[in-house]
Amino acid sequence: MSTKTLASATKLLDVAEALSGYAAQGVSHTALSKNLAFDAAFVTRATQTLIEKGWARKDEANGLFYPTPRMGQIFGRVLTSFDQAERSLGDMRRSFLAK
């Protein structure tokens, strides 16, 4: 993977992270670009990619971008994974102590 591709991926994740803080009020393209100090053209491509993946939506009435529930599901899967690991460890502990 080229350094340029990696840099673009990192910046895309920066846009997703920034967008996650605007679930209630939404955020404009201009604000994302300014807050992240990213070129407006890149923010356009990034938001289009996030929309295509189902992680963001654009309200055509006000022009603002919002994260979708799918973005939150990622965090939910992380917590579920920890819960499963915790249960498994508890089962192993109980099994070990029972013998």
Q: Structural domain boundaries of the chain?
A: 1-67, 69-99
Per-residue model confidence (pLDDT) at position 59: 97
Per-residue model confidence (pLDDT) at position 78: 81
- β partners of residue 67: 56
Closest by CA to 41, choosing from 77, 11, 78, 72, is 11
Element of type H or E holding 58: strand 56-58
Q: What is the mean pLDDT of the chain?
A: 91
pLDDT at residue 39 greater than cutoff 70: yes
Per-residue model confidence (pLDDT) at position 77: 83
How is domain 1-67 classified at the CATH fold level?
Arc Repressor Mutant, subunit A (1.10.10)
CA torsion angle for 5, 39, 73, 51 (degrees, to 10)?
Answer: -90
Instruction: Quick: pLDDT tens for 53-97.
Output: 999 999 999 999 999 999 888 888 888 888 899 999 998 989 888
